[in-house]
Structure 1
Amino acid sequence: EYLLIIHKIATTKGDLENIRVVPPDAKVKPISIHRPALELPKFSGERDEWSSFYAIFKSAIEDDTSLTDAERLQYLVRCLSGPPKDSVKNFPIIDASFVPAMKLLKTNYSNKRLIVHDNLEKILSLPQMSSESAPALQKMLDQTYQGLSVLKNEGQPTDQWGTIVTHILIKKLDPKSRELFESQQSATEVPVYNDLIQFLTKRVGSLRMLTSTVPKHTKSNEKFSGKHKSVASNLSVSSSSCTLCEGEEHNLWKCPKFIAMNISEKRSLVQSRHLCFNCLRPGHGVASCESSDCRKCHKKHHTLLHSDNQKSAPSPQEGPKEVSPEASVATLYSNVKGGQVLLQTAIVKVQDRFGQHHLIRALLDNGSQATLISEDCIRRIKMPRSHANVQVTGVGSTQCSSSRGIAHLTLGSHFDPAFEIKVSALILSSVTGFLPPKSCAP
């Protein structure tokens, strides 16, 4: 144990001799840490950018006491481009040139009146939006925010401008966005600036979501573009079946019972059976009928419904036309004799432009070559449309209607939330007439 104690004392003594005592007033050299080089800002002459540029340049270069004014001038020239660089590039690189060069730049770009003027113009000259667009709305928000921020930094009372700026922005909105905003506002209260900004921010997000979720149908659009094309649609037509005699093989206008009625009785019958006043057939109205007019007054009603006191009937809008043989395609149809046919329908979900679901009734037409949707339905779900000039043909190569565009829809099941299908539907003024012609139990 004695030898072990002697060994520990000798070891400890050697360690103590290696310890250096540093005087209290001695300076300790700090450990050098490598930092990434600071990237200097660039300035091209935009007055809005001068304040931020000069703040960084002053901190990094102008206040650096290790640099000479000649070196500061070299750094300054490297940071400039365009007109600012042209104004100082001829200064000689000497210490005496830095101060006048910086003074010249401040005179040109640190002009408070010009800065305020430019940023007021930035807000007042916002472009008028003609249609809803996420990029255009985002640009409006950015331009307004940037302008107000600079004006506030210049000491302008922007906090008191909410009502004025709100009025300017509302006037610049596209009709649809303005309608949506106004629908959320009180009829008597003044709109609040923050409410408008919050609405526009959400609106941008909604439009971007719609753009990203609506599929691109390039091939589909090419398919419907250019030359007029026609598609077949499955039609349900009645043969020479009288709606008054319940199955007799003759048309209504040849029916002795109908001919024997007075004008008032005839009109009541046509109206109750949902028949066309012009051709006395079911499935469409006067507006879409192009059968021959009244032979007595040439108005849009059947000759058997003519009255000397009859006021002029509505003008036709569209109806059957012969389609050139090369443009027509075959079609299927149901030949109805002596009775009525109930066509298959289903309740389906369709997404509107905001991603909300609506329940609509779909007519299941197994013989149709195209998906059709009515103009009224498109307006209710507010879906955008693309141009498509397509003729829809039916029996006998007759043109039933011309499309008013094409819409890309997402349909879903009313019972299975996981089921979805994307379709491209031609838009028609109407898909069917009054169906079924007679009322029936569900």
Structure 2
Amino acid sequence: MLPIAPVVGPELPKVELSYFDGQPRGYWKFIRQFETYVASRVTDDSQRLLYLMHYCKGKAKTAIEGCVMMEASSGYKRAREILKRLFGQSHVIARETLEDLFNAVNFDCTDGEQLSNLAIKMENCAMVLEQMNYTSDLNSLVTLERIVRLLPQVMQAQWANRVDELTEDNREPTFDELTQFIASRARVANSRFGRLANRPRKGHNLKTNCHLQLEQESNSRAKCRVCSQDHAIYKCPKFLALTVQERWSQAKVNGICFVCLRQEHKANECKLAKRCNVNGCEKKQHSLLHSENDKPDIPNCCGFTKSLSSQVCLGMIPVRLMLGNAEMVGYALLDNGSDVTLIKSSCLRYLGLKEDERQW
């Protein structure tokens, strides 16, 4: 251990430096600590080299082991040059620091702790890159977009509104502003009223309170259980090449729902009101599981029926729409023949969403 200067008052705990294992993202932190606590307090280069060898391990230590055979001053200087050349290149450190940030998992908009951790990692990343004058990489649109993709869609929409305000003021969004935005969302989620707003409601799952689309995207990213690739089983070439009987066998073996061909639930738990509809088949199953033996019951007679009523009944169900703290109750019209989902513009405005008007 290094000798430390005497201090006034109670003795302070001994400072132990972090070891450097050759990971570029830890180079600047290690060098700053080494220069502050070792190099500045030792005048002999031979001792500096000895301590440098001691606090390096793995490939970092292997890279400078030969320097102990050199003259003390030259050996220490050479060791520092080797470490910087192999592990201290600014562009490599910047890339690895950002990639470590990009590899964070997607976040639940109700989890304040996850959002706080992301904000802290972003602040640390900014400090490292600012020390190397790499702020241009921080503020690039590619960097900002990759971080925003980690956020739930509700927060992505809120950030889009924030960027629109900046654009109106002739300003561009920056890494620091995105960090402050995520930190503020984390504070709200961790606050008393934030926890109250995100509490589980009767008949609702906490994770689905944010947005139903989040769960749907998570399901779509599940790996196919037939070929282990990143696609849904009904898009799997191997599954489509099977006979109907073999598809049934695969669905049973892998615990896949017979109605929607997803693997998160069983057929008796499926909430999708879907019928086969292949050649008039009314069975509650996916069309890829239809067999020619599944024939609809068609009476061998011909006739007509005169309607005695002029009323038409439509399938309607009550629904609850939630976005952030906005909530409304309405009715949804079920149309099995429709291939689009439509919503009234007044509902969008109430929930704070932008309209995307189309011509049909």
Q: Which structure has greater helix proportion?
A: 2
Tell me: higher relative CO, structure 1 or 2? Use CA pairs within 8 A at least 6 residues apart. Answer: 1
Same fold (TM over 0.5): no
TM-score, length basis structure 2 = 0.44
Structure 1 length-normalised TM: 0.37
Rg comparison, structure with higher value: 1
The structure whose residues are more often strand, as a share, is: 1
